[in-house]
Structure 1
């Protein structure tokens, strides 16, 4: 009868350990389910459309939307810009030449303001007048000359002729201060200076940020950031294909190909992609491939260990429960074997 009596505590211990493990699992999963965030609602935003009261374009009837020029260093190019008043009131404008640049955030093409330092086309353009008043429904053709310096570097140089409305529009109040804005329209100048052309692109500073959820076994969020740089002397329109994958490619996401605006020589833009839901625990490999017409494809990659401490803690707790169960089983078996002998 002694062996039968020794098995009863063993069964009770096993039942207790199993109940503990089941309760632990239920608690963890119920916590993960009951604390899930609500489904985000689609925000309804009203688009505010406003028609421009003036237009700026190259003079002529050839349908040009931009100035495209090819010139040798030291040459002088002459052209004309047409400014049209589309409003029922007189329009007072300032005209000036401006350098173009890419905004760091999204690579959009922008132009230097009148008070900013100009180092390229902004200093090469000389307008017949820098101030004019156009009657309603009328247009004015303003001649200008573009003088290419003798030491101008070969390749692309981009800028524009900007027409700035002198009227200040009130856009509301911010921190108790009235805020006014001035609107401007630019017509682009794309100048290619004769000489060797060396187009080139590079991807730099590829990085993955892993943001785990605060609940066990919940999905995480991964953010891929990278910088695209124009390392050549030719303006390009790059296409970027980012990708993130887990170990052995079991979980991966390939983001849609992303076309960038015209990227000027020496300019760069920092971009981000978000992967959600992403694995909570994995080794993430991120790669970014960039290409453009006439440029060899280039890419860069990086790796990042993704850890979610709540999930790791849950797994550790379950392993601890299993270890206790195994220890009890071994102990009872040894005790039963000793009693039989």
Structure 2
């Protein structure tokens, strides 16, 4: 007779599997909840009875800016900008033409302004009249700063540009801005009445004689990984970085980001992107997104930046990315598999003992 087999090892294995499954389920639920995005909070601060004034300034070459007036260098040479080379201490004389293209008189302000790059997209912008000017904005002196131009007429305004004797060699960028005194009502935003004054600038690009040291750098390279809230779902990776003009020459950089996974099994090379004219000492923050991205991987990212006449430079970063819902699911499956294997081994040992 075959002796009866004890069911105690089987019950202990089943209890172990049940406890392991419950623990894995709790871990999975907690990690899945932790990855869900927090509830969006919105807040509106209405300021009734107040008005905000915004000045929109674009270059004269921007056709979308306005057709009411134009600003350009005086003369018939077809210049679109004032491009100058000068030694420190030099006084340059020239003239700017403001044309009224509308059927009504235009009341205008005219002033010199420093240029700068906007932080997010690197676009070239100009300081407003009330802002502090430290470069071209203080070097330009106009014959008049206010005028009324009849419809269909133009005014040629002489100006002098005095280069300081201690001016640093390299590029100095600014503009001569024509500001329309008329205020356009742009409606209401968050309870605030918004008025807009439009302005057009003609660029002044001065190169002061001396050693030129062009240079570019990629700084603050950072990668964010946004996993999905479901196991094994695709994630999204965001690569952000700052391009800095480290030299004394204005440049038009080209950037080429790239992200790849472990052993190059997943790789995305983004199209090279040309940036606007980046001024010395200025920077711009850029981002690219990779979607769908792997939920679990070892990602390496790099960004190359270069410009005409400037050697290409790059920056790199890498990190392990984890989607916790996926990790929790894999851990639960592995735990169940381990228990099943342990159960099979015990049954085999128990059967072998019974036959002996």
CA contact (8 A) 1:91 1:133 kept: yes
How many angstroms does 1:50 deviate by? 7.1
What corresponds to 2:206 in structure 1? 191
User: Which of 204, 211, 215 is matched with 1:200 structurally?
Assistant: 215
Which one of the candidate residues 150, 174, 198 is aligned to 1:159? 174
- Residues of 2 paired with 1:331 and 1:231: CA distance? 69
Alpha-carbon separation, structure 1, partners of 2:241 and 2:313: 13
Task: Indicate the residue corresponding to 2:43 in structure 1.
Answer: none
The alignment covers a number of residue pairs equal to 309
- Would you say 1:240 and 2:238 are equivalent positions? no
TM, length-normalised to structure 1: 0.86
Could you give the per-residue CA deviations for residues 302-331 of structure 1, whole angstroms, max 9, x where no partner exists? Answer: 111100000000000100111111011100
Tell me the secondary structure at the aligned position of residue 130 of structure 2: coil
User: 1: distance between equivalents of 2:180 and 2:66?
Assistant: 14
**1:92 pairs with 77, 100, 107, which one?**
107
Gaps of 5+ in 1: 33-48
Q: Which runs of 4+ in 1 moved over 2 A?
A: 1-7, 49-52, 174-177
- Verify: 1:320 aligned to 2:348, yes or no: no
Cα RMSD after superposing both structures: 2.2
1-side partners of 2:5 and 2:118: how far apart? 80
Report the CA distance between 1:51 and its aligned residue: 4.0
- Report the CA distance shift for 1:186/1:330 in structure 2 as closer, same or farther (over 3 A): same
Matches within 5 A, 1:1-341: 2=2, 51-341=66-356
Where structure 2 has 5 or more consecutive residues not aligned to the other structure, the ranges are: 33-63
State how far apart, in whole Å, the 2-side matches of 1:81 and 1:290 are. Answer: 36
Following TM superposition, by how much is the alpha carbon of 1:174 offset from its aligned partner in structure 2, in angstroms? Answer: 2.2
Aligned to 1:41: none
State the shift of 1:62 in Å: 0.9
C-alpha distance after superposition, 1:106-146 (max 9, x if no partner): 11100000000000000000001000100001111111010
State the distance in 2 between where 1:116 and 1:171 align.
Answer: 23
Post-superposition offset of 1:192: 0.2
**CA–CA distance in structure 1, aligned partners of residues 240 and 187 of structure 2:** 35
